[in-house]
Amino acid sequence: MEALLSLSRGIDAVNERIGKLTTWLILVVVIISAGNAVFRYLFDWSSNALLEIQWYLFSAIFLLAAAYVLKRNEHIRIDIIAGRMSPRAQNWIDVFGILVFLLPMALMTMVLSWPVFTLAWTSHEMSANPGGLVRWPVRLLMPIGFFLLTMQGFAELIKRVAFLTGKARNPLEKEKTKTAEEELAEEIRKHKAAPGVADTVGTNKSMTVDGDGKDVRP
């Protein structure tokens, strides 16, 4: 079990790093989108390549950060029933869900998406839009994203089995860490990039919490 927990921590570290790097793509998408709109309205100029790169980056954010979200235990849950159960029961439900739903789905999608990528690679698939981009990079995101999600699924399974056998703490207990908004604002300030954006992110965060620090977003 100690070896498996070490493997789990290694997978966590990889997906944590990839997830944090992926969050920067959100800023890139915003800049490209805003720039494209400005050029379109001020200079009556636009580009299909700029439009498509936004779609590509949205795909990258979703697929590359999926494992990171799972690792942070921030994926959507409907805990009307499970939320009332004991920690052991909740972890047993997760074990069932990981084995029966998550891992089969992620593995199947990863396997089936690989031929789609190889076909795009060998055929030099291009966008059908004039001035569009080559398609194989975005096709590659699918198997990579689901590979990372599969690995994180194994890591989460190890954590839950370790808890159920008394070898580790409850993985469903959320750590008191900074929110995604706070982390992004801190990274922007750290790199001294777009301080106005960092202030905006911090302001948006302050508008979503009350005086006690509780989240008041709907």
pLDDT digits (tens, 9 = 90+) for 105-144: 999 999 999 999 999 999 988 888 888 889 999 999 999 9
Rounded Cα gap, residues 85 and 95, in angstroms: 15
**pLDDT(183) > 50:** yes
Q: Which domain holds residue 50?
A: 2-195
Query: Residue 99: pLDDT band by 50, 70, 90 thresholds?
Result: very high
Residue 80, in any domain of the structure = yes
Of 75, 97, 93, the closest CA to residue 84 belongs to: 93
pLDDT bin (cut points 50, 70, 90) of residue 218 is: very low
User: How many structural domains does the chain have?
Assistant: 1
Predicted confidence band at 208 (pLDDT cuts at 50, 70, 90)? very low
pLDDT at 176: 64
Note whether residue 200 is domain-resident.
Answer: no
Cβ distance 31 to 194 under 8 Å?
no
Domain assignment of residue 136, yes or no: yes
pLDDT of residue 177: 63
For residue 119, count other CB atoms closer than 10 A to its CB: 13
Reported residue count of the chain is: 218
* 215 inside domain: no
Residue 160 has pLDDT above 90, yes or no: yes
Instruction: Please tell me what DSSP assigns to residue 211.
Output: T
Residue 46 vs residue 214, higher pLDDT: 46
Cβ atoms 40, 48 nearer than 8 A: no
The verdict on residue 217 lying in a domain is no
Identify whether 213 is part of a domain: no
| pLDDT of amino acid 22 | 93
**Buried b / exposed e across 10-39, counting CB within 10 Å, b at 16+?**
ebbebbeebbeebbebebebeeeeeebeee
Tens digits of residue pLDDT in 18-45: 999 999 999 999 998 888 888 888 887 7
Q: Compute the Cα dihedral for 36, 37, 39, 40 and give only its sign.
A: positive
Q: At what angle do helices 136-164 and 48-71 cross, to 10 degrees?
A: 10
Q: Say if 209 falls within a structural domain.
A: no
Give the number of other CB atoms < 10 A from CB of residue 89: 12
pTM for the whole structure: 0.75
pLDDT over 70 at 147, yes or no = yes
